[in-house]
Copies of this chain bind each other. A is one copy, B any other.
Amino acid sequence: MESSIRFELIKEDKYTKARLGKLHTPHGVIETPIFMPVGTKATVKTMTPEELKEIGSQIILSNTYHLYLRPGHDLIKEAGGLHKFMHWDGPILTDSGGFQVFSLGDLRKITEEGVKFQSHIDGSRHFISPEKSIEIQNALGSDIAMAFDECAPYPASHDYVKNSLERTTRWAKRCIDAHQNPNQALFGIVQGGMYKDLREQSAKELVALDFPGYAIGGLSVGEPAEMMYDMLDFTVPFLPREKPRYNMGVGTPDYLIESVMRGIDMADCVLPTRIARNGTFLTSAGRIAIKNAKHERDFTPVDPECDCYCCKNYSKAYLRHLFREKEILGARLASIHNLHFLLKLMENIREAIRNDDLLAFRETFYKKYGYEL
């Protein structure tokens, strides 16, 4: 099947493996590298689609596992697909449900056929196979679907990870065979845990299947940062230069910068919106916990360098008041700010790549942010 997306490689950085690109999808063009806000249950928590656009969101991610359970992919298909259901007309990437299902622990059982599991909501019994995952994602109608994989835990034995990645490759083939939606691109997911030989094996097997894009899965699962960087350094070169690369579940500024430097084009994470709802703000000078008493009478914005709606119009004192009173507007403003912060960071990264200036940008950013190089 001809792919419904096209990746245009605009420029490669002189000094790092960072790349500037454009990903053409049925719902619009994404400038890469990009961060994807997460809208787990067909809503990026607290935000409207218009607000997401306003802060520069180009693509969002939604979760197959959650939408399958509630409200059901058949209902969303009946509504005209996920875009129409949630009133977002930009590109959407759906995960495969694999990661969520495997995270259920004792509630799931893996066989060659697929995964049996019990709903975390009501204990009801379900079965997701590669074919089922693709059926659900086809029904949701996302622009990019992900192959159903197993994200091996960390740590895990070489044997366990080898078996797991080989099954992931077999499942990847089944996903390709099952895939029916001509307006949806299917990405493969490289696994292999923290073993380089297995990362190489997984990458080669999946590249042979010729997916239009590749994710690197099984990173940012509790391993030390240096180990993740090492795995990226090692794995990315096995992936085709002309296809987009996606590091799953990465959303701190340092992880984003380090991923991009290693050749990553896309990333996603619930972190910015999750910590927002707890009153933590990402700023150019590091994180701020707004509920801290020291902000009580601070009438300055959270980040004086930020031009988001929150920073232009509200003070730390007001935000602290909203969070102390558990007012929804607080969670909204923090979500706007944190997502804007990461999206602006990606914009600055793209600009730095354009100017072959990424290393200097990184140094300046880290110094201000308080991150040790």
Q: Are B46 and A314 in contact (CB under 8 A)?
A: no
Q: How far is the CB of A59 from chain B (nearest CB, A)?
A: 19
Copies in the complex: 2
Q: Are B318 and A85 in contact (CB under 8 A)?
A: yes
Chain B CB within 8 A of A275 CB: no
Q: Are B41 and A75 in contact (CB under 8 A)?
A: no
Compute how far the CA of A177 lies from the CA of B325 in the bound complex, rounded to whole angstroms.
Answer: 34
Contact residues, A281-322 vs B (CB, 8 A) = 296-297, 299, 309, 313-315, 317-318, 320-322
A78 partner residues in chain B, CB cutoff 8 A = 297, 299
Interface centre among A42, A43, A314 (most CB of B within 10 A): A43
A45 partner residues in chain B, CB cutoff 8 A = 327-329
Q: Of B43, B296, B328, which is within 8 A of A71 by CB?
A: B296
Q: Are A327 and B87 in contact (CB under 8 A)?
A: no
Q: How far is the CB of A112 from chain B (nearest CB, A)?
A: 33
Chain B CB within 8 A of A86 CB: yes
Q: Are B318 and A41 in contact (CB under 8 A)?
A: no
Chain B CB within 8 A of A48 CB: yes
Q: Are B79 and A322 in contact (CB under 8 A)?
A: no
Chain B CB within 8 A of A173 CB: no
Query: Given the interface contacts A79-B315, A87-B314, A299-B78, does A328 sit within 8 Å of B70 by beta carbon?
Result: no
Q: How far is the CB of A296 from chain B (nearest CB, A)?
A: 7
Query: Given the interface contacts A78-B299, A327-B41, does A321 sit within 8 Å of B46 by beta carbon?
Result: no
Interface 0/1 of A43-64, CB less than 8 Å to B = 1011110000000000000000
Chain B CB within 8 A of A22 CB: no
A327 partner residues in chain B, CB cutoff 8 A = 41, 43, 45
Identify 17 residue pairs between A and B in the complex whose beta-carbon atoms are under 8 Å apart, listed by A's number.
A41-B321, A41-B325, A41-B327, A42-B318, A43-B322, A43-B327, A48-B309, A48-B329, A70-B321, A78-B299, A79-B299, A79-B318, A80-B299, A85-B318, A87-B313, A328-B328, A332-B332
Ordered nearest first, which 4 A-B pairs have the shortest CB separation? A71-B321, A46-B328, A87-B313, A43-B329
